[in-house]
Amino acid sequence: MAALLAGLLVGTMVAGSATAQARPDERAFFDLYREMVETNTVVNVGSCTQAAEQVAARLKRAGYADADVTLFSTPEHPKDGGVVAVLRGSDAALKPMLLLGHLDVVEAKRADWQRDPFKLVEEDGYYYARGAVDDKAMSAIWADAMIRFRTQNYRPKRTIKLALTCGEETTFAFNGAQWLAQHRPELIAAEFALNEGGGGRLDAKGKRQLLAVQVGEKAAQNYTLLATNPGGHSSTPVPENAIYELADAIKAVQNYEFPVRFTDTTRAYFTATAQRVGGEQAAAITRLLANPQDRAADVIVSRDKVMHSTLRTTCVATLLSAGHAENALPQRATANVNCRIFPGETVDGTLAKLRALAGSKVTVTANQPIRPTAVPPTLDPKIIGPMEALAKKHFPGVPLLPTMSTGATDGVFLEAIGIPVYGVPGTFLDPDFNGVHGLNERIRVVSLYAARDYLFDLAKAYAG
């Protein structure tokens, strides 16, 4: 029976792949998706502005007026631009909704990839390219939805806005979502926003296991640890050594566990997970939900690295630099510590803890840019309800779980100005996360088109 079911599943996948682009609207979407993927948008290498202009041109060809499509950039960052588009609703009493995506991608070196990362390649039921998932799948789906709304003469009750920005992948670069929130908030003002961060999980054979809606995320923040000494000749070493002092501080950070915290989202996530996994892990989760200070339960739950990170703030050393000559005592040693700060906890509070851990011989500073405090949205039934109802139609039998992202998205900038952001479900990925941020990024063809149909219906469900 298991073999038969596996055969039926594979047969369904092959059929799904073969029928992709069968409809005219699917072919139009593929053309948009391919253009977006093949436009290099790596910061300081490619151009998000070019990608935004290409989307804007498509929106205008679909019938959007110039006044409803806004291209933006700054003189200091001419290639880091983005686009905002508006489809006006008929009911002024309803606040707008926002579809958010980012155009920039992580760098990809051709020599390291099996295929050209900036040429969309279809192979063995997958699309391969940098950005095939993160985040050009969703950005293309949102842009395509706005085009379809216009060409189909769809009149929403609620105004629908689209914002495709640049800078999400690089903390040091110009960030379009942050710039809009700070300088043009009226362009993106909305009751809520739909963003990346959710999705779905497949097993190794491609069977759908679960859907996830991201309700909250951590805030990413980098800190610098610095140790300095007068130095001297390495032939006469002394106890005061910048490298040793920095190493002691790093070990202190490594050995410290931030306390367990729960939001409404993570409490719901762990409650559902306990029901799903069973055994020792389920018992430990149940104990930890009842008592977050149960260290023994924490140890068991935290064997899973994702659960460990979902429970708390985490800080980890990511970069080191020390010394100036091989035959001299080091005058300077620095480390970058990357923290993912739990919602509600602050950059300053984490800084104070790192300073206490590092001790008096090492200085600790928060690096620019400093991100806002993460504000978790509520598990609003008006948002979660349509996701669940449409999931039953598009993905019957697949459970939907609320999750908190242990990473960080541009949602943190919108939440800082009062716009709750939800990472939508619908895009199913393989257990290895499909090479996102790594080599040979890819997405199953059938998953991309299934996500497109689900998210199109979801946007219409909210818009009315």
Residue 19 has pLDDT above 70, yes or no: no
CA quadruple 387, 445, 134, 140: dihedral positive or negative?
Answer: negative
CA angle 96, 102, 104 (to 5 degrees): 160
**pLDDT in the model for residue 3:** 34
Residue 444 Cα to chain centre, angstroms: 19
Element (H, E) at 16: helix 2-19
pTM: 0.90
Alpha carbon distance 222, 213 (integer Å):
27
**pLDDT in the model for residue 173:** 85
Question: 207-216: per-residue pLDDT in tens?
Answer: 999 999 999 9
In the 3-class helix/strand/coil scheme, how is 252-294 assigned residue by residue? Answer: HHHHCCCCCCCCHHHHHHHHHHHHHHCHHHHHHHHHHHHCCCC
Alpha carbon distance 389, 71 (integer Å):
35
Q: What radius of gyration, in Å, describes the C-alpha atoms of the chain? A: 24
The CATH number assigned to the domain with range 219-258+313-372 reads: 3.30.70.360
Q: Do domains 19-217+374-463 and 219-258+313-372 have the same CATH topology?
A: no
Residue 284 has pLDDT above 90, yes or no: yes
Question: 20-70: per-residue pLDDT in tens?
Answer: 778 889 999 999 999 999 999 999 999 999 999 999 999 999 999 999 999
Q: Which residues contact 380 (CB under 8 A, 6 or more apart)?
A: 192, 420
Question: 263-272: per-residue pLDDT in tens?
Answer: 999 999 999 9
Q: Enumerate the domain spans of the chain.
A: 19-217+374-463, 219-258+313-372, 263-310
**Could you identify the residue written with the tokens 């710039």?**
179
Question: 155-186: per-residue pLDDT in tens?
Answer: 999 999 999 999 999 888 899 999 999 999 99
**pLDDT in the model for residue 15:** 32
Q: Over the chain, what is the mean pLDDT?
A: 94
The CATH number assigned to the domain with range 19-217+374-463 reads: 3.40.630.10
Residue 394 has pLDDT above 90, yes or no: yes
pLDDT classification of 11: cutoffs 50, 70, 90: very low
Alpha carbon distance 243, 58 (integer Å):
56
C-alpha to C-alpha distances, 119 to 34, 264, 448, nearest whole angstrom = 8, 42, 17
**Could you identify the residue written with the tokens 């300088």?**
183
**pLDDT in the model for residue 18:** 40
